[in-house]
Amino acid sequence: MLMRRAVIFAGLLTFGVAAIALSGQAQQAAAPATPANGAAAPQAPQPSETVKPIKGNVYYASGSTASNNGIIVGEKGVIVVDTGISAASEKLELAEIAKITPKPVTTALFTHSDGDHVNGSEALPAGITVIAQENCKKEMETAAATPPQNPNPTQPLAKPQMPTKTVAMKESLTIDGTRFELFHIAPAHTSGDLIVYLPDQKIVFTGDISGPTPYPLIHLEKNGSSLGWLDTVAAMLAVDADTYVPGHGDLHTKADIQQRYDAVKARRVQMVDLVKQGKSLDEIKQQFGETAAPAAGGRGPRFPSFTDVVYQELTRKN
């Protein structure tokens, strides 16, 4: 069982590299042949990264990195929150950062261990400070110790930088002149989620606790928890913030986070009642208008849906 979990962790951590490779292959296969008249064939769009300001010295990057990454310009250096899916994509982000400031990246914070949030750290300067929740570090170490078979030999497996500093539950830090409140409430999206709160700017980086989907993605294979997700979001709502940067998608307001919390809590309460009635998973999905199998996501393999996860939590034997 431990070996099975290790392989799963490793697969998730390195999924980002494979996704890029497969995407490139798909684009190449889909490209039309050169027309008979000799005109040039349409070119596949080049990967790009966009950096947008949030407030003061705080920005966020999105695009080729696949995840939303935070950028905080400090007094002498740059602090980044998450580093995207690959070294190649992170290099694009670094080029965009260089347009804002000549200061080097000196610190990285990981919101969790998924490959599309940590793999890009391979491109960051060696010897920087890397901060993560202690379980995130364990997950990354497990994945590094049991690398999966490379799905695309033409693409090297990612070698993200390992955390050099860990946070257990809560820590207040001033990094290069910027105040940070870091907190972990409970296993939620993964066992090692870290919420990054900037109290002076009233900004929260949520990682994949929040995102563009109606219901959250929870990695049971990384000991995530729907109850822990609710507890974590309640803590996010309790801080004095007005901007929430999700792991993917558009920025959220506190009202957006509250609406998501209310919907997820109501759905879970509804599922508790249906399970008590003896309803099967397929019957519950049918009532919710969901397909029997989890839909294929745009960012990864067929991860269990929120309904799948809660049903497993409510019916598993301790």
Query: pLDDT tens, position by position, for the chain (318 residues)?
Result: 434 444 344 444 444 433 433 333 333 333 344 444 444 445 545 678 899 999 999 999 999 888 999 999 999 999 999 999 999 999 999 999 999 999 999 999 999 999 999 999 999 999 999 999 999 999 999 989 886 666 666 667 789 999 999 999 999 999 999 999 999 999 999 999 999 999 999 999 999 999 999 999 999 999 999 999 999 999 999 999 999 999 999 999 999 999 999 999 999 999 999 999 999 999 999 999 997 655 444 444 568 999 999 999 999 976
Q: Is residue 189 part of a domain?
A: yes
CA-to-CA distance for 32 and 254, rounded, in angstroms?
46
For 278, counting Cβ atoms within 10 Å of its Cβ (0-12 exposed, 13-18 middle, 19+ buried), the class is: exposed
The answer to whether position 110 is within a domain reads: yes
How many whole angstroms separate alpha carbon 158 and alpha carbon 211? 24
| Cβ partners under 8 Å of residue 286, min gap 6 | none
- CATH of residue 201: 3.60.15.10
The verdict on residue 217 lying in a domain is yes
pLDDT at 318: 66
Cα 47–chain centre separation: 19
Q: Is residue 305 in some structural domain? A: yes
pLDDT at 182: 98
Burial class of 275 by CB neighbour count within 10 A (0 to 12, 13 to 18, 19+): middle
CA separation for the pair 208, 190 (Å, rounded): 9
* DSSP-derived 3-state class of residue 127: coil
CA 202 → CA 173, 195, 224, 245, 250, distances in Å? 15, 13, 27, 11, 17
- With respect to residue 127, please indicate whether it lies within any of the assigned structural domains: yes
Region for 316 from its dihedrals, namely left if φ exceeds 0, alpha if ψ lies in -120 to 50, beta otherwise: beta
Q: Is residue 240 part of a domain?
A: yes
Q: How far apart are the first and last CA of the chain?
A: 16
Number of domains in the chain: 1
Owning domain of residue 172: 2-24+47-315
Predicted local distance difference test score (pLDDT) of residue 153: 66
- Exposure string (b/e) for 75-85, b if CB count within 10 Å is 16 or more? eebbbbbbbbb
Residue 78 covered by a domain: yes
Q: Radius of gyration over alpha carbons of the chain, in Å?
A: 20
Inside any domain, residue 13: yes
3-state secondary structure labels for all residues of 22-55: HHHHHHHHHCCCCCCCCCCCCCCCCCCEEEEEEE
Taking alpha carbons only, the member of 207, 200, 177 closest to residue 67 is: 207
